[in-house]
Amino acid sequence: MKQPYAEPILHISYWDLFQKYYSPMLREVDLIIKTMTNPLTIAEAARVLRLTENKINQIMTQKDIKLIDKEGFLNIMLHGDSSLCGLLQREYMRGSPNLYCPEDIAYIYNLMHERVSDVCRAAGFADKIPTRAIPDILSKIPVYIMKLDD
């Protein structure tokens, strides 16, 4: 029987993937939160948070959000279902500590706990991982990009 996919076509680290995919989005979210003076439109919030306009409307109705100011934006972000919102929600749930444990890193970045723990131990970290070490930890976690066969 034929395998559902071929060999990996790209092998990169999770940090490389994070830098390419999430970092630009996180910079945009950060800039909006820090500089927002006027409310965003539904279309703007949807684009930034990678949500549909229908999803934004749904959250606004459910959470009684009248306009997308800083508070409304954060509230939508905490209830959105995009991968970006999920990452930000998991970070928020952990309280953005100065020191992380492997469980925190695995949870926030949606990675296998065992793999993160192994990499942390190999890097000399047991339970207390400083924020500055996270890129090094994530750079040692491989990601394989696969191409599905037709």
Q: What are the pLDDT digits (tens) for 117-127?
A: 999 999 998 78
Sketch the domain layout of the chain as residue ranges: 1-20+97-150, 36-95
Which amino acid is located at 142 in the chain? P
Cα(32)–Cα(25) distance, rounded to whole angstroms? 11
**DSSP string for 58-88:** HHHHHTT--SBSHHHHHHHHHH--SHHHHHH
Alpha carbon 111 to its chain centroid, in Å, reads: 11
The pLDDT of residue 10 is above 80: no
What pTM was estimated for this model as a whole?
Answer: 0.81
Average pLDDT over residues 140-148: 78
Average pLDDT over residues 132-139: 95
The pLDDT of residue 58 is above 80: yes
Q: Do residues 69 and 39 lie in contact, with contact meaning Cβ atoms separated by under 8 Å? A: yes
Q: How confident is the model at residue 7 (pLDDT cuts 50, 70, 90)?
A: low
Cα(16)–Cα(136) distance, rounded to whole angstroms? 11
The whole-number pLDDT of residue 141 equals 94
Coil, helix or strand for 145? strand
Over pLDDT 90: what percentage of the chain? 78
More confident residue, 69 or 94: 69
More confident residue, 3 or 119: 119
